[in-house]
Structure 1
Amino acid sequence: MGARSFYIYILANRIGGTLYIGVTNDLVRRVSEHKSGAAESFTKEHDVNRLVYFECFEDIEAAIHREKRLKKWTRAWKIALIEKDNPNWIDLYPEIAGG
């Protein structure tokens, strides 16, 4: 993960559960905020803190464009996207945080 990278990410509260899509320039920090409850109320209220998918972009415009497109996708398409690379909905945070 480079210093000039931007990310879209999908969080879930459980397999097949509530999904949240976001964009950030610091994936480790942002997911940490969700996990600690410091992030906005939706993720806190729904306990959405499992990082199940992410993509990296070189510029913010591309990341925001992808985020907006994903938010318009059907739930089934989002689940298929997650399960293509992460069929067991494993929390990817330890992998990106170096733990």
Structure 2
Amino acid sequence: MTRAYVYILASRPGGAIYVGVTNDLVRRVHEHRTEALDGFTKRYNIKLLVHFEQFDRIIDAIQREKNIKHWPRVWKTRLIAQTNPTWRDLYPELVM
């Protein structure tokens, strides 16, 4: 069974944020961190993985991503603060 993930990246605590969906969280965050792809995260130096959620079905992850993207910023920051109040980078824990 393929896993799917919704993730939130940030430039710094309280800084610019990006919401995405992927089936390979480590690979996708690595692409953002190494600026392998042009776009919003590269332009605004968004590299810190501050939140992620795992799903069994990609359709559920895509729907969650769409919902979060439509939320006001304060709701997104509240979601991050609930599980990661210091906005620490979670990526190193994934690759250990």
Q: How does 1:1-99 map to 2 (within 5 A)?
A: 4-98=2-96
Which SS does the other structure have where 1:83 is aligned? helix
Instruction: Work out the CA distance in 1 between the residues paired with 2:75 and 2:49.
Output: 17
Let me know the Cα RMSD of the aligned residues.
0.9
Gaps of 5+ in 2: none
Deviation string, structure 1 residues 27-70 (Cα, Å, up to 9, x no partner): 00000000000133110010001000000000110000000000
Alpha-carbon distance between aligned partners in 1 of 2:53 and 2:30, rounded to the nearest angstrom: 17
Give the share of equivalent positions with the same residue, in percent.
53
- The Cα shift of 1:97 comes to 1.1
Structure 1 residue ranges, 4+ long, deviating more than 3 angstroms after superposition: none
**Within 2, Cα distance between the matches of 1:14 and 1:25?**
25
Structure 1: gaps (5+ residues): none
Residue correspondences, number: 96
Larger mean CA deviation between 59-68 and 31-40 belongs to 31-40
Alpha-carbon distance, 1:90 to partner: 0.2
